[in-house]
Amino acid sequence: MATKKTPKTRTKKPLVIVESPTKVRTISRYLGGDYRVASSKGHIRDLPKSKLSVDLADGFAPTYEVIPRKKKVVEELRREARGSKVYLACDPDREGEAICWHLAQLIDNGADLYRITFNEITKSAILKALENPGRIDQALVDAQQARRILDRLVGYQVSPILWKAVRRGLSAGRVQSVALRLIVERELEREAFDAEEFWNVAAALEIPGGDIVEAQLVRLDGKKARLRSWESVRELFNDLHEKPWRVADFKKRLHKRRPQPPYITSTLQQDASTRLGFNPKRTMRAAQRLYEGVELGKQGQVGLITYMRTDSVRISDEGLTKARDWIGRNHPDYLPAKARSYRGKKGAQDAHEAVRPTDPDLEPSKIARYLDPDQRKLYELIWGRFLASQMTPAIYDKTEARLECDRAEFSAKGSVLRDPGFLTVYPDPGRGEDNRLPVLEVGSELESVWLDGRQKFTQPPARFKAASLVKELEKSGIGRPSTYAAILSTLMDREYVVTGPNRSLVPTELGRLVIKLLLVGFPKLLKVDFTAEMERDLDEIARGERDWRGVLDDFYTAFRPELERAEKELPKRRDRETRLEGLHCPLDNGDLVIKFGKAGPFVGCTNYPECTFTANFHRDDDGGIVLEERSNNNGADKPEPTDVPCPLCGEKMVVRSGRRGEFLGCSRYPDCKGTLDFTLDENGGIVPEEAPDPSDAPTCEKCGAIMVRRKGRFGPFWGCSNYPKCRSIVRIEQTPEEKEQAKREAAERRKKNQEPEKLNLPCPVEGCSGTLIVRINRYGKEFYACDAYPECKFSCNRRPVESPCPNCGFSWREPYYKKLRCHHCGHSGP
């Protein structure tokens, strides 16, 4: 009797779950076929947006739901995890720990669940993590939950009060509002600043041998020189006239300039802003791609940097070994006897090492062709800073001479680079050429060549830029390194802040008003010290030193009374906070207030609707409101008049602006709706398109209105002048001559498309290396597209102008409704 064979049971390969699809490709290459790798594609569960989702009566218990677009992802992960060993390998921080915890809650079906972490996506780091799996750190999860609930309590309970007081769609945040306060208060400091006059005095002196030395005045009558007027400068010049000059002192010394520690998140964002012009969001986007892995030809997907969200300057033993090995092979003279170590700031989390390249042998010049411009620039910065941190100091010859004449003392300084040291791999663009000062003998006499006085004025405190704001937030203990980019991005998206000259951060009128109201309603919430204390509480939760519910209870006990008072007071405070002192309505002498419409802030009369006066405005250097001239009492801009007659009624036409740009419209609109397209001649004069004879125009069969000639995708047609209320059209049969002309124009368009004009402007699509060319569409209109089509399908309708974006520094922008729009970052402005 034949025996049945026992079927073999298939054992599932272990499953590794990460949060990023890019990581899947990189890690799969390292693990080969021994493991399966899947992605959660970010967070899979969160507090629903439709309600508060926090039970205030039950210890702040959160209500989580699977994010709707992630339901299929969750089902797939559950299926893959069933009966398998699972390694949760999300980012090694609080957010990553929370994602792992949510995954564990959703796929817990008897599978063996482990938590693994690695600071760099390299084969050795991943295999080491798999050999030493752990469990989810509940303290980190609790810290993330507490932060999420804190932000929800503030955002969902304060924002509606702002909607009632100002307008819908505004938001307030526990950290973003404090950051906005810093920006607004800096602006107010600038407006209240009184500039003071002072004078700098310099002298050019001839030394024995004929060389000329320039020196600066430092002391008068034994005290620090303070010259406040031209009269005092002229008096000094008279005193020094034909008086002898001599060298009172001369010093020469060696100065060692030591390298800086490797990057942490905040210093990386600051340097990328200062050196590269990147905002924090752009920096972190490029860093994320470098961390997750970049395709390097035959090497495949390679993680190029360690984890980029860290506030520790520590370097692992493996990292130190790699750095010293590279320096020893390439710059042996600059390898110190022992490795350098750096001390981080007090309270820094030491779980992750500093941001560094995973392999120094992957030099920027060797892999540049595989990186997009942002990745290449940022990788060069990280690579150079890391290796420089383990090299010898740069050595300078510093010289200083003290020169005396009568009651005045001048100083001349020189600096010459003797040995570059770490500057060989990390040059400093802020340091200019050597400033040599000849050796001077003490007691020797000098001849005066000239004296010069320069008038100066004290400057107000500088506006924050992305780099300085990040530095201030870090210094004050506000937010975490991973949140700085999101804070600034939120302030820009909410139109609380715009970019000004030199990428400075300028608060808008809306931002000013929001801070005024929040300071009235929530004085404690907006205190820098209070916000920093909350961050310390969250750190204590992460270390397991405090209970997260207790921290939330302490916060809400202090927050709730402010919330109740603000609900009553803030809507009443709006007019008081926006009222313009000393300015009155020119129509009825009523008070003026700042209002907010779809097109932005404007000034309006408090007697509305009886008085409809409105006006645009701007602020002067002192922050005062200056009303701009308006054409009438309803605030409409005065259209530019022309001598072109309307094709319908014969009245003069004016230049108007619409969705598709400027056009000619009848001055009798809306009684007459005649329109014409126009172009500008070489002198800027208006050249209207040829108007058809009105007597040839038919009347609309539906509404009886006169029809106007228009152009469409299938040729010319008559369209009702009451469009869009009436959409009646009549096709126009083209003559043989018109058809022939259309064929010639089509042939010309094809020829232009075959030999397109090249603009030598880069494509703004991330990862695309194409350049823009001019193409012609089927209607004979130019548009501007990437030459990498069809792989890249970017195009824009208006001719790009070479004007760097003030937000991200991209080289060109597109004219867009009297503004310039950046297709690289989305910024729109002047």
* Residues 191, 519 contacting (CB under 8 angstroms): no
Q: Which of 473, 530, 559 is nearest to 182 (CA)?
A: 473
Write the burial class of residue 96 (CB in 10 Å: 0-12 exposed, 13-18 middle, 19+ buried). Answer: buried
d(CA 99, CA 45): 8
- How many angstroms separate the Cα of 482 from the Cα of each of 268, 282, 478? 12, 13, 12
Phi, psi (rounded to 5 degrees) for 314: -65, 145
Structure tokens at 730: 């009549």
Q: What is the dihedral of CA 425, 426, 430, 432, to 10 degrees?
A: -20
d(CA 455, CA 414): 24
d(CA 787, CA 756): 9
Write the burial class of residue 337 (CB in 10 Å: 0-12 exposed, 13-18 middle, 19+ buried). Answer: exposed
* Residues 115, 16 contacting (CB under 8 angstroms): no
- How many angstroms separate the Cα of 421 from the Cα of each of 46, 331, 340? 50, 9, 14
Question: Looking at 114, 307, 396, 426, which residue is catalytic?
Answer: 307
d(CA 334, CA 768): 38
Give how far the C-alpha of residue 611 lies from the chain's centroid of Cα atoms, to the nearest Å. Answer: 41
* Residues 74, 106 contacting (CB under 8 angstroms): yes
If one counts every other C-beta atom within 10 angstroms of the C-beta of residue 16, the result is 25
Q: What phi-psi label fits residue 110: left (phi over 0), alpha (psi between -120 and 50 degrees) or beta?
A: left
Interaxial angle between packed helices 466-476 and 528-542, expressed in degrees from 0 to 180 and rounded to the nearest 10: 70
d(CA 493, CA 497): 8
Q: Which of 324, 482, 305 is nearest to 380 (CA)?
A: 305
Helix (H, G, I), strand (E, B) or coil at 394: strand
* Residues 437, 399 contacting (CB under 8 angstroms): yes
Amino acid occupying residue 613:
F
> What residues pair up with 592 in beta bridges, in sequence order?
605
Residue 629: CB partners within 8 Å, gap ≥ 6? 615
Exposure pattern of 26-64 as b/e (b: 16+ CB <10 Å)?
A: bbbebbeeebbbbbbbeebbbbeeeebbbeeeeebeeeb
**How would you classify the pairing of strands 212-220 and 223-224?**
antiparallel
d(CA 804, CA 807): 9
Residue 383: CB partners within 8 Å, gap ≥ 6? 357, 360, 363, 364, 425
∠ CA 278-283-288 to the nearest 5 degrees? Answer: 160
**How would you classify the pairing of strands 819-821 and 814-816?**
antiparallel
* Active-site residue, 307 included: yes
* Residues 466, 273 contacting (CB under 8 angstroms): yes
Amino acid occupying residue 322:
K
If one counts every other C-beta atom within 10 angstroms of the C-beta of residue 367, the result is 19
d(CA 261, CA 255): 19
* Residues 573, 520 contacting (CB under 8 angstroms): yes
- What residues act catalytically? 307
